[in-house]
Amino acid sequence: MSHVGSGKAASSKEQTGLRYPSNGKTIYHRPLNRTKTAELSQAAFAYLFSEMVIYAQRRVAGIQELEKRLNLQGHPIGLKLLDLLLLREPPRSQTRPLTIIALLHFIKINVWTHLFGRQADRLEKSSNPDTPDEYMIVDNEPLVNAYISVPREMSQLNCAAFVAGIIEGVCDGAMFPARVTAHTVGGKEEGEMWPGKTVFLVKFQPEVLEREALLGKG
Amino acid sequence: MASSKASRLGEEVWKTRMDKVNAELVVLTYGTIVAQLCKDFDSDYIEVNKQLDKMGYNIGLRLIDDYLAKSNTMRRCSNFRETAEMIARVGFKIFLNITPTVTNWTSDGKQFSLIFDENPFADFVELPDDGRAQDELWYSNILCGVLRGALEMVQMQVEAHFVSDVLRGNDTTEMRITLIRYIDDELPPEDD
């Protein structure tokens, strides 16, 4: 039976109804690492991101819903980035992270460096004994918020919810299901060093902690 | 401005005056925008094209200031041919680090094509295999809106649309741009 199955999979490409250019300009012909270090203008990102936020804003009723929507748009990116970034690692470190700490380091270092050109600023575990499932990734100055000014009446909004969605996608893809939210913690006072400082609160599902405890790595 | 000079200008502005980010951040963000539109409009790709064009138009209205400030070209192009070269060699260069080819002019000098050998937005992209997307969706349609919005701010009304796309199985990606008219400066409203 397995032969039949694999035979089907092999011929499935011919069965798609998609047309491809005759000169081979398809995603299957391009090296996956071609754009690994390519750059575009930050302006291009800022324009697209602001249109994305404005569009989302028109279709939601409140700040929470808006953040949820931005989160959902980041999620598929995280799922794909996990595979892409692991694939680009040298063979010995290509396995997906197997512990919470390894996963968070992967996010803080690999994901951040790839997307934003630097590591995240800090990684913390919740000191509250009631919430051992919570971890925090701190970014003093999220790149995605560089050109976003939040109106006073929406001061709860943090558009880095998009990045929270990316992180959530990475966690889910690595089999560490979690909820991730973005919170502004920078002070509003004059002379505040990081007014846009953002905490990404990563709250893992109970089964993740159970598994860590069983494996004795928790 | 001669086209070789425009190329040098584009190159220099890109290298020295533009803040950069990883290309994949931009590409993936654009992808998630298009995917969301396809979802919201239930794969009504004609509507998705329209929405993308609208977003691009909004971007273009603002982007032109950025373009003028960064390129520091405070002089009007002397004709539409010069405009085309500046779009390709300076505009596309400094924002997307590509230089599409300007070609296929009509004899009246009002219509030309941009051929995209490279299209960063299309990296990692394959259109849905639903028998419709490849006939209806113009994946990079936001770029048409950007040109329309940006040129409107400098008194040119244009129409822009894609005529082919490698994502549809065509051998090239080509956008057709038509100058409709130069917009006269309007008098400020009467002060009653």
Residues B148-185 have pLDDT tens digits of 999 999 999 999 999 999 999 999 999 999 999 999 87
Write out residues 59-118 of B within 8 Å (CB-CB) of A: 59, 62-63, 66, 94-97
User: Quick one: average pLDDT of A43-61?
Assistant: 96
> Does the structure show a pLDDT above 60 at A5?
no
Interchain proximity A18–B126, CB inside 8 Å: yes
Q: Give B118 to chain A, closest Cα distance, Å.
A: 10
What tokens appear for A76 in the block? 């598929």
- Enumerate residues 56 to 95 of chain A having a beta carbon within 8 A of any beta carbon in chain B: 59, 73-74, 76-77, 80-81
Task: Give me the pLDDT at residue A7, please.
Answer: 40
pTM score, whole prediction: 0.91
Give the pLDDT band (50/70/90) at residue A138: very high
CA distance A45 to chain B (A): 5
Residue A15: per-residue pLDDT:
63
B26: closest CA of chain A, how far (Å): 5
pLDDT at A174: 97
- Contact indicator for B177, B84 with CB cutoff of 8 Å: yes
Tokens coding B55: 């977003």
Contact of A160 with A200, CB cutoff 8 Å: yes
Q: Give residue A32's Cα distance to chain centre.
A: 19
For residue B191, the model assigns a pLDDT of: 64
Whether A8 shows a pLDDT value over 50: the answer reads no
Q: Is A105 exposed, middle or buried (0-12, 13-18, 19+ CB in 10 A)?
A: middle
Average pLDDT of chain A? 89
d(CA A45, CA B48): 20
Which residues of chain A lie closer than 8 angstroms to B51, CB-CB? 55
Q: What is the pLDDT of residue A186?
A: 78
For the stretch A76-119, pLDDT in tens is 999 999 999 999 998 888 889 999 999 999 999 999 999 999 99
Contact A140, A121 (CB under 8 A): yes
CA-nearest residue to B125 within chain A is: A27
B166 and chain A in contact, CB less than 8 A = yes
Q: Note whether A51 contacts B66, CB cutoff 8 Å.
A: no
Residue type, position B168, single letter: R
Best mean pLDDT range from A33-37, A187-191, B166-170, B182-186: B166-170
Average pLDDT over residues A52-78: 96
Chain B positions in Cβ-Cβ contact with residue A44 (cut-off 8 Å): 26, 95-96
What pLDDT is recorded for position A35?
Answer: 87
Please check whether residue B18 touches A, CB under 8 A.
yes
Instruction: List the alpha helices (DSSP H) in chain B.
Output: 3-16, 23-40, 45-71, 80-86, 92-96, 133-136, 142-152
Give the DSSP H/E element, type plus range, for residue A79. helix A63-88
Q: What is the pLDDT of residue A10?
A: 42
Instruction: Answer whether residue A3 shows pLDDT above 50.
Output: no
The answer to whether B35 faces chain A, any CB pair under 8 Å, is: yes
CB contact, 8 Å: A147 with chain B?
A: no
pLDDT-flagged residues of chain B (< 70): 191-192
- The token duo for B154 is 């400098």
Residue that has been written with the tokens 């995240």 in this structure: A120
- Residue B1 has a pLDDT of 79
Alpha-carbon distances of A56 from A5, A67, A150, B37, rounded to whole Å: 42, 9, 15, 10
- Output the CA angle B64-A114-A101, nearest 5 degrees: 140
- Helix ranges (DSSP H) in A149-188: 161-173
Instruction: Beginning with the edge strand found earlier in the chain, give each strand of the sheet holding A122-125 in spatial order.
Output: A122-125, A134-139, A198-204, A178-184
Which B residues, 112 through 151, put their C-beta within 8 Å of a C-beta on chain A? 120, 123-127, 129, 131, 134, 142
- Asked whether B21 and A143 are in contact (CB, 8 A), the reply is yes
Give the integer Cα–Cα distance in Å for A43 and B127.
26
Dump pLDDT digits (tens) for A196-209. Answer: 999 999 999 999 99
